[in-house]
Chains A and B, each alone.
Chain A
């Protein structure tokens, strides 16, 4: 690398160096300022709610995250853009960075569960039955299992895709954090055909809801979700059972009113509209997923012989979120480019490699399966479907595990329910932890998962709420062999796939601030060891066609997503050998896949 640097005249060097440092400083300040305003504005719904609830830690954490996220993004993108247009690029980069993070934050706050959960409970007309939950909108509140019905809807597509998509939905294992409402395949197909939506309908909530109502599927879902057999039907079955098998004549327990309430109000329809299909090198399904929540009035029931269920006319439907979803499959049986390993894990058969002798699945079947998988991934990112579990002991063990899709290094924010002097409950943010052991609660319901407390300390009775993290981006100003470098890196946590905690692969871009601005790409691997809020960093990386390096460092977790630290290492290679020293600021983005 050194050989690529162009020596400059001293005054040019001074202008270059000082100018760029000043620019970098300006970008950081700009980023902080923009980040501050972004944090204040974008987080205001959640922040205000938290402030009302008396949770300064959460509010501050969010604000700090946003501030420094703005700074990181601004500095990082500014540095990248600055390689081309040093002045304009950095400034524009800072702005773009904050806009990106503002958008991410806005998305997060849009999906905020607070108002929705409150409506789910208190908005029920005439419901006289308590959920048993004193305040369901609390972050630390009870996790009520959800049930969903995925209905494919089509626009200008033939029956072939309908069939494959319906099959993909029917074959989806209910392994995750929600139940699938088992309505009959014929009813599902009928609903799919009756659901007349197009891209503009999907954008209009009231049109979408009207379409769902007219499809007739709500009756099926009400019956399925509430298991709404009448007592007479149950007793009738019991009598038959007794007559033919001599089984115990003890009463089959009926679901309690609370259970009915929970089951029916935890019901969702997910409409997946397949808007267009493109086929070139790969088959691409472009769709929209809309999540619709039921709010049920339990005072008005329909009786149909032995079956009774809440009157669908009185069910309030609310569209809580929408997202564009794209699924791509190639004919070479290689889904890796789109789905990565998670696809194979989740569906248990889509490994991308077909066994010898077994015919390859048609691409539209693959794309359908992938579309369903992406829909589930999308659902798990919504607050209504986040895992919530209570610590059952003081060793940070909580009652969620494989059944709910808990994975190694999955992030959890921890809250505690507090009572103010007036006796009003509110949630207090306690800290953040990463999963360090996964309980196999499919085998034994009492097997607990546990988290390593990164921020704060936890205790029995506190509530862990999933806070899933994706790629961590970082800015790394570094000194190496007489040169000042700025790196932009992305770290991807492999723990989910390897079960080895805090194991990352990284890719980066490094830019020399001085002497002509040499650039180099880097790839690497690093392992981090937890020491409370601190992490001991060890890593190795390769600067393409330049050198290899070994690094150690310490990171401090400032908020669940934001960390800062120092690095030291030694590089050895063709050029730029010697010790390195640097700083690092990292920000974990929300999980996207």
Chain B
């Protein structure tokens, strides 16, 4: 009986040890984004609600969410158009994952208008303890488009497309 218990314990430990490492979520947790306005034809401002265990992670999630909205759409509001169409979205899922896994790359296309600043109406603690944070994010959509075009993810922007 004792041996069986030991064997069971060893099996459990081995199973946990051999399981794949739990990775940090690559894609944004939150998809709650509102498009506010386009800025001078090259940037787009979003209000994105990020979710995370703390303020910093929630802000990071908001940055990701706005970038994700700029790429694949889904933002509320009427002013913004996604860079990828439905077909490009389906065929480039792997690329999107790789983009969001490279922090320095995706961060180069987004910036918070007031990084680290808290607004009373834009920070809430959810019932599960996570923080929901509203952040105004400017996405460099023109640069992003040029990068996607260079990588042949999307076709070159031209009249009639």
Which residues of A are at the interface with B, using a C-beta cutoff of 8 A?
132-134, 140-143, 388, 390-392, 416-421, 425, 428, 459-461, 463
Which residues of B are at the interface with A, using a C-beta cutoff of 8 A?
55, 116-121, 123-127, 131-133
Q: Write out the residue numbers on chain A whose beta carbons fall within 8 Å of the beta carbon of B131.
A: 461
Q: Write out the residue numbers on chain A whose beta carbons fall within 8 Å of the beta carbon of B117.
A: 392
Chain A's closest residue to B120 (CB) is A142
Q: How long is the Cα–Cα vector from A371 to B127 in the complex, in angstroms?
A: 48
> Which 8 A-B pairs rank lowest in CB-CB distance, beginning with the nearest?
A461-B123, A142-B120, A461-B118, A142-B121, A417-B124, A390-B118, A133-B121, A419-B124
Q: How long is the Cα–Cα vector from A132 to B116 in the complex, in angstroms?
A: 19
Q: Write out the residue numbers on chain B whose beta carbons fall within 8 Å of the beta carbon of A388.
A: 120
Chain B's closest residue to A133 (CB) is B121
Q: How long is the Cα–Cα vector from A134 to B132 in the complex, in angstroms?
A: 13
A-B interface contact total, Cβ < 8 Å: 47
Q: Are A391 and B118 in contact (CB under 8 A)?
A: yes
Q: Are B121 and A419 in contact (CB under 8 A)?
A: no
Q: How long is the Cα–Cα vector from A380 to B124 in the complex, in angstroms?
A: 27
Q: Are B120 and A418 in contact (CB under 8 A)?
A: no
| Given A460-B55, A461-B55: A420 touches B127 (CB 8 Å cut-off) | yes
Q: How long is the Cα–Cα vector from A392 to B125 in the complex, in angstroms?
A: 16
Distance between B119 CB and nearest chain A CB, rounded to angstroms: 7
Q: How long is the Cα–Cα vector from A418 to B116 in the complex, in angstroms?
A: 20
Chain A's closest residue to B116 (CB) is A392
**Helix, strand, loop or mixed for chain A's interface?**
loop
Q: Are A417 and B125 in contact (CB under 8 A)?
A: yes
Q: Are B124 and A425 in contact (CB under 8 A)?
A: yes
Q: Write out the residue numbers on chain B whose beta carbons fall within 8 Å of the beta carbon of A420.
A: 127
Distance between A8 CB and nearest chain B CB, rounded to angstroms: 63
Q: Are A419 and B123 in contact (CB under 8 A)?
A: no
Specify which of B118, B126, B127 is in contact with A460 (CB 8 Å cutoff).
B118
Q: How long is the Cα–Cα vector from A419 to B132 in the complex, in angstroms?
A: 9
Q: How long is the Cα–Cα vector from A88 to B72 in the complex, in angstroms?
A: 79
Q: Are B127 and A419 in contact (CB under 8 A)?
A: yes
Q: Write out the residue numbers on chain A whose beta carbons fall within 8 Å of the beta carbon of B132.
A: 419
Q: Are B121 and A141 in contact (CB under 8 A)?
A: yes
Chain B's closest residue to A463 (CB) is B120
Q: Write out the residue numbers on chain B whose beta carbons fall within 8 Å of the beta carbon of A419.
A: 124-127, 132
Distance between B59 CB and nearest chain A CB, rounded to angstroms: 10
Q: Are A416 and B55 in contact (CB under 8 A)?
A: no
Specify which of A143, A428, A459, A460 is in contact with B120 (CB 8 Å cutoff).
A143
Distance between B127 CB and nearest chain A CB, rounded to angstroms: 5
Q: Are A134 and B120 in contact (CB under 8 A)?
A: no
Q: Write out the residue numbers on chain B whose beta carbons fall within 8 Å of the beta carbon of A428.
A: 125
Q: Write out the residue numbers on chain A whose beta carbons fall within 8 Å of the beta carbon of B124.
A: 417-419, 425
Q: How long is the Cα–Cα vector from A140 to B116 in the complex, in angstroms?
A: 18
Q: Are A140 and B120 in contact (CB under 8 A)?
A: yes
Q: Write out the residue numbers on chain B whose beta carbons fall within 8 Å of the beta carbon of A459.
A: 55
Distance between A588 CB and nearest chain B CB, rounded to angstroms: 26
Q: How long is the Cα–Cα vector from A421 to B55 in the complex, in angstroms?
A: 20
Q: Write out the residue numbers on chain B whose beta carbons fall within 8 Å of the beta carbon of A390.
A: 118-120, 123
Task: Indicate the member of B55, B123, B133 with the most A CB atoms within 10 Å.
Answer: B123
| Given A460-B55, A461-B55, A461-B131: A417 touches B123 (CB 8 Å cut-off) | yes
Q: Are A417 and B127 in contact (CB under 8 A)?
A: no
Q: How long is the Cα–Cα vector from A235 to B17 in the complex, in angstroms?
A: 70
Q: Are A392 and B120 in contact (CB under 8 A)?
A: no
Q: Are A418 and B121 in contact (CB under 8 A)?
A: no
Q: How long is the Cα–Cα vector from A420 to B125 in the complex, in angstroms?
A: 9
Q: How long is the Cα–Cα vector from A417 to B120 in the complex, in angstroms?
A: 8
Distance between A582 CB and nearest chain B CB, rounded to angstroms: 42
Q: How long is the Cα–Cα vector from A142 to B117 in the complex, in angstroms?
A: 14
Q: Write out the residue numbers on chain B whose beta carbons fall within 8 Å of the beta carbon of A421.
A: 127
